[in-house]
Amino acid sequence: MKSQTSIPTTKVERASQFVKTGIKIGGNYIKHYSKKLINPELSREALHEDNAVDIYDSLSQLKGSALKVAQMMSMDKNLLPKAYSERFTMAQYSAPPLSGPLVVKTFNKYFGKTPQQLFDRFGMEAVNAASIGQVHEAWLKGKKLAVKVQYPGVADSVTSDLKMVRPFAIKLLNLNEKDVDRYMDEVGTKLLEETDYELELKRSMELSKQCSVIENLAFTRYYPELSSQRILTMDWMEGKHLKEFLRTNPSQEVRNKIGQALWDFYDFQVHSLKTVHADPHPGNFLMQEDGTLGIIDFGCVKEIPEDFYWKYFALLNPDLLNDEQKAEEIFYQLEFVVPQDSPTEAAFFSEIFKTMINLLAKPFHTRTFDFADDAYFQSIYEFSDKVSKIKELRESKSARGSQHSLYINRTYFGLYSILNELRAEVTTRKPDWLAAAVVA
C-alpha cells in the first residue's frame, strides 16, 4: 500500500478534506437518482458502495479520530449498510501507512534521536497501520520489538474532527441528534486518552499484571525508556489476527479455549477491576495455535463508576426486569426513561430497553453459551434494524441512556461478535451476586 508523505493537521486542511468528501457524496446521490429515473428498480447498493469508498478514502488520509469512528462503526455488523461496514473494517488493520521521513521526524521530536540511533535495527516500513498510529518492527540486543508510532496531529485534532464527523454519523446511522452529541462527548474523551501513549503505557503495565492470573492469556513487556507521549515500545508478540487465524482451520477445542480466555479476560476486568479494555476489535488480539490469546493494545480503557456498575449489571437478572417497580427505578436512574416522558412514552421506551437488555443478558442466563448460535445474533441484528427505524427514538428531544453505557454496550457486543466468529462455546460464569441482585 502506498505510504502517505503528509497528513492534514490544521483545522482548515482537515475541514477542506471533509468538504471535498461531502461534494463527492452529493455527486454520488445525483448520479444515483439520475440512473433511477431510467431504472426505477435500481437498488441503493451501488450508491452505498460509492459513498463508502469516498468516505473511507477521505478518512484514511485524515487518520486519527475521524478514522477511529469509522473503525468503531465497522464492529457492529448491523449498524451500517454492508458496503460501509466492509470498507470501514479496513481501518482495523490496513490504513495507508505514514512515510519514513515522518516517522523519523516523530522520533527526533520526542527522543532527539532517529530510530536507527535508538535501536540496533528498525524497519522503516510499517507492518500494521490503523487509525491512531502504526506499528514497526525493531531489534535491540537480539530482541525483536514492536514500536507503535502515532500519526502527527492526531491528538490536536480530536475535538474538531468529531464536530466534522457528526453530520456523517447522523446521516449514516439515522440517529437522534442528542444521542449523537452524548456519544461524541464520550468518544471524544476516550480518543484523547488513546492519543496519550504515556497513559496507555501506565494502563498497559497495570492491567497486564492484574490480568496475568487468567489462564491462556499472554501479555507483552513494555519499555518505558523507549516510549514517550507519541511512541510506545514493547516486545514483539507472535500470533495471528482473527481472520488470518480462522483460515488455519483451528479445532473446536482451540476455538473454545481462546473464546474462554477472551470471556474470562473481560469478565475479570468488568466485575473485579471495574476497569475494562473497551476496544474489542480483532486488531487488538493475537491468536496462537495452542489456544493462547495475546492482548496487544490497552489504548482504550473504560473505568466503570461503582454506582453505574451496580445498576447496569443488576438488569442482567431477569427477575429484576420482571419487577416493574425496581426496573422502572433503574431505567430512570440510567436515563433510559427521562422525567419529561409521558406515561405512554415511559412505557414505550421501557419496552424497547427491556428487549435490548434481555438480548445482551442472554449469555449470562445459562451456565454455558454457544456463540455459534447464529439465530441469537440474527435476533440482535433484526432488533438493531428495527430500533434504527423507530421514529419516536430518532425524534426524541432527550438523549437516552447513561453515557457510561455507550462503551460498556460496545464492549459486550464487540466481545460477542468475536466469539461468534470463533464459533466458541464458553462457560459464562455469572457474577456471584447476580442471582440475588437487589437495588435499594
Are 168 and 74 within 8 A, CB to CB?
Answer: no
pLDDT at 23: 47
Secondary structure of 102-131 as H, E, C letters: HHHHHHHHHHCCCHHHHCCEECCCCCEECC
pLDDT at 39: 59
* Tens-level pLDDT at each residue, the chain (440 residues): 556 555 655 555 555 655 555 545 555 545 545 555 555 555 556 655 666 666 666 666 655 556 666 555 544 544 445 544 554 555 445 556 777 888 999 999 999 999 999 999 999 988 887 778 889 999 999 999 999 998 887 787 777 777 766 666 666 555 556 666 666 777 778 888 888 999 999 999 999 999 999 999 999 999 999 999 999 999 999 999 999 999 999 999 999 999 999 999 999 999 999 999 988 888 889 999 999 999 988 988 999 999 999 888 888 877 787 788 888 899 899 888 888 888 988 888 888 888 888 888 899 888 899 999 999 988 887 887 777 677 777 677 676 778 888 788 888 888 998 999 999 999 996 555 444 443 33
User: 3-class DSSP state for residue 229?
Assistant: coil
Q: Is 220 left (phi over 0), alpha (psi -120 to 50) or beta?
A: beta
Are 233 and 227 within 8 A, CB to CB?
Answer: yes
Domains and their CATH numbers in the chain: 11-95+160-173 (no CATH), 96-129+132-154+195-237 (3.30.200), 239-440 (no CATH)
pLDDT at 403: 80
Q: Hey, which residues does 218 pair with through a beta bridge?
A: 294
Rg (CA), the chain: 22
Are 151 and 8 within 8 A, CB to CB?
Answer: no
Q: Is the torsion defined by CA of 378, 382, 383, 384 positive or negative? A: positive
pLDDT at 259: 97
CA dist 82 to 31, 35, 42, 104, Å? 20, 21, 17, 38
Residues 6+ apart with CB under 8 A from 401: 179, 334, 335, 336, 353
pLDDT at 101: 86
> Crossing angle, helix 343-361 and helix 374-388, to 10 degrees?
150
Grid cell, residue 379, equals 435476533
CA dist 184 to 81, 108, 124, 406, Å? 21, 33, 35, 10
